[in-house]
């Protein structure tokens, strides 16, 4: 007689634990073209993988504008808060048809808006406005390893002289 | 037996709740789809509500800001030629991105990019999303890396606080969001596209007018100075670089006076006073480093 009760209670506790864990998990969506999942909370830290716009990650911890996250593939690393938007779940009305509330940021994330198609249309009617240097400008990229050396040599960031 | 039944029913209730919540989560995850991206169906469902939700500049997403910024940058580049000096442009990008790392908004849709404009006019301009320009004339006035970093930090401040987007007239956004909210198509039809392109053009006009012709509201310039000081200090630069630069503009009687920054920014004296107060209020101020001044002088040698 005691066994089913014990089993029931254990399962109940287990179920509650899973439920609480899921409810507390914060999910973030990448809102920029790409962001790097880094080994440490620093922009010049080693890249573990590159995350694309719309990909989701789950928060583990947070510190000074950085979030430690887990990807759906199980990779754990750090991303900066400015690269993501928080996903909000609506947990009201379990008995009713389940629905979520679209926050302003989610709506903005999903919206079409001013996009490549609008730019193409604008360019067609303004042939005098050249985007050639804009595209060249976008290609100027500083590798994070080089950036680290630049900061280090210039005694900047974490490498500044102690007072 | 009754206890067993009770625990079984408790278990059933928990499982129902658990599965129910899973369904909620799954619905949420479903928005992202199996690959973690937003599905076409959910995109449509969300955009249908956008008519109600999207109202102000703050609701312009990162990708839209990027496309606005690209076009503003193209318009700036149609007025000023580029100073095509790869090494010097590279150096500017090192200094600029160093400041970006320690700013409030280090990541934008396609990152921050810096470019030198081939004009003796004294000016620095920031298009939404992180397209930042500095003129040769302004570079000549910089005596060290601290001054350059502080000016770039001021521009990063404009991007970070979205001053460009805040310059867009509200009516434009209301019109745009109305079109965007009414339809949930993946691509626009010819009529929608024509309407949106017209609004896009007006949006660019609003920003460019402020950037080049009239200047931002004074409060935005003061805010950018304040942010610039903070970002520079966070990076480890001496914020006095901004006041030093502004000092070069006081009582300027050169040919370029009255153009560029002179035309679009509040008076240098006023800004120096505010910046100095801001610096005094700081807990600690990083000292200038000669190693930085030396590398600045080495890099600037190629400026013709």
B2 CB near a chain A CB, below 8 Å? Answer: no
Report CB contact under 8 Å: B286, A82.
no
Report CB contact under 8 Å: B94, A110.
no
Q: Given this model, what pLDDT does residue B69 score? A: 98
Report CB contact under 8 Å: A111, B32.
no
Q: B-chain residues within 8 Å CB-CB of A90? A: 24
**Is residue A71 helix, strand or coil?**
coil
Give burial (CB, 10 Å; 0-12/13-18/19+) of A37: buried
A43 CB near a chain B CB, below 8 Å? Answer: yes
Report CB contact under 8 Å: B43, A72.
no
Of B150, B158, B102, the closest CA to residue B130 belongs to B158
Dump pLDDT digits (tens) for B69-97. Answer: 999 999 999 999 999 999 999 999 999 99
Inter-chain CB pairs, A–B, below 8 Å? 265
> Which of B1, B10, B14, B75 is the best mutation test for A, with the most CBs of A within 10 A?
B14
* pLDDT at B240 > cutoff 70: yes
Identify which has the larger pLDDT, B34 or A19: A19
Which tokens hold the place of A87?
């996903």
Nearest to B200 among A1, A104, A118 (CB): A118
CATH of A23-111 given 1.10.10.60, 3.30.70.1020, 2.30.30.40, 3.40.50.300: 2.30.30.40
Nearest-angstrom CA–CA distance, A78 and A45 = 9
- Reported as a pLDDT band with limits 50, 70 and 90, residue B25 is very low
A93: left (phi over 0), alpha (psi -120 to 50) or beta: left
Q: Determine the distance in angstroms separating the CA of A27 from the nearest CA of chain B, rounded to an integer.
A: 9
A162 CB near a chain B CB, below 8 Å? Answer: no
In what helix (H) or strand (E) does residue B74 lie, and over which residues does it extend?
Answer: helix B62-79
Identify which has the larger pLDDT, B19 or B4: B4
**Is residue B301 helix, strand or coil?**
coil
Domain with CATH 2.30.30.40 in chain A: 23-111
* pLDDT at A8 > cutoff 50: yes
B250 CB near a chain A CB, below 8 Å? Answer: no
Dump pLDDT digits (tens) for A15-67. Answer: 666 666 556 679 999 999 999 999 999 999 999 999 999 999 999 999 999 99
Q: A-chain residues within 8 Å CB-CB of B31? A: 87, 100, 106
* pLDDT at B30 > cutoff 70: no
Q: B-chain residues within 8 Å CB-CB of A82? A: 104-108
Q: A-chain residues within 8 Å CB-CB of B111? A: 141
A16 CB near a chain B CB, below 8 Å? Answer: yes
Identify which has the larger pLDDT, B301 or B42: B301
Yes or no: say if A80 and A68 are a contact pair by the CB < 8 Å rule: no
């Amino acid at each position: 007689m005691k066994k089913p009760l014990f089993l029931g209670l254990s399962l109940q506790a287990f179920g509650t634990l899973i439920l609480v864990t899921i409810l507390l998990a914060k999910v973030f969506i990448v809102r920029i073209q790409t962001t790097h999942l880094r080994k440490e909370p620093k922009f010049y830290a080693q890249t573990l993988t590159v995350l694309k716009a719309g990909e989701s990650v789950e928060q583990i911890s947070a510190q000074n504008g950085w979030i430690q996250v887990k990807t759906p593939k199980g990779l754990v690393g750090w991303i900066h808060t400015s690269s993501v938007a928080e996903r909000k779940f609506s947990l009201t009305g379990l008995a009713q048809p389940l629905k979520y509330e679209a926050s302003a940021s989610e709506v903005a994330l999903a919206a079409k808006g001013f996009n490549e198609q609008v730019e193409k249309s604008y360019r067609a009617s303004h042939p005098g406005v050249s985007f050639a240097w804009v595209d060249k400008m976008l290609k100027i990229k500083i590798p994070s390893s080089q950036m680290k050396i630049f900061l280090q040599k210039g005694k900047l960031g974490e490498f500044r002289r102690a007072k | 037996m009754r206890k067993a039944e009770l625990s079984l029913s408790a278990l059933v209730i928990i499982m129902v709740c658990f599965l129910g919540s899973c369904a909620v989560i799954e619905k949420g995850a479903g928005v992202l789809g199996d690959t973690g991206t937003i599905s076409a169906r959910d995109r449509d469902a969300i955009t249908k509500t956008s008519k109600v939700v999207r109202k102000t500049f703050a609701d312009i997403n990162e990708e839209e800001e990027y496309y606005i910024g690209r076009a503003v940058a193209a318009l700036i580049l149609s007025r000023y030629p580029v100073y095509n000096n790869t090494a010097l442009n590279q150096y500017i990008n090192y200094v600029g991105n160093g400041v970006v790392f320690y700013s409030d908004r280090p990541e934008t849709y396609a990152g921050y990019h810096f470019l030198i404009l081939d004009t003796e006019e004294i000016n620095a301009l920031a298009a939404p999303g992180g397209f930042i320009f500095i003129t040769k004339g302004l570079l000549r006035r910089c005596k060290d890396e601290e001054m350059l970093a502080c000016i770039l930090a001021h521009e990063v401040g404009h991007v970070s606080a979205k001053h460009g987007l805040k310059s867009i007239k509200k009516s434009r956004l209301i019109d745009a969001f109305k079109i965007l909210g009414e339809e949930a198509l993946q691509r626009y039809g010819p009529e929608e596209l024509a309407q949106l392109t017209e609004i896009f053009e007006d949006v660019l006009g609003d920003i460019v007018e402020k950037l080049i012709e009239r200047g931002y509201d004074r409060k935005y310039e003061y805010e950018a100075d304040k942010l610039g000081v903070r970002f520079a200090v966070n990076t480890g630069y001496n914020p006095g670089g901004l006041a030093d630069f502004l000092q070069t503009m006081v009582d300027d009687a050169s040919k370029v006076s009255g153009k560029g920054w002179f035309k679009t920014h509040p008076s240098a004296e006023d800004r120096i006073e505010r910046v100095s107060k801001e610096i005094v209020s700081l807990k600690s101020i990083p000292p200038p480093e000669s190693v930085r001044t030396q590398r600045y002088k080495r890099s600037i040698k190629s400026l013709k």
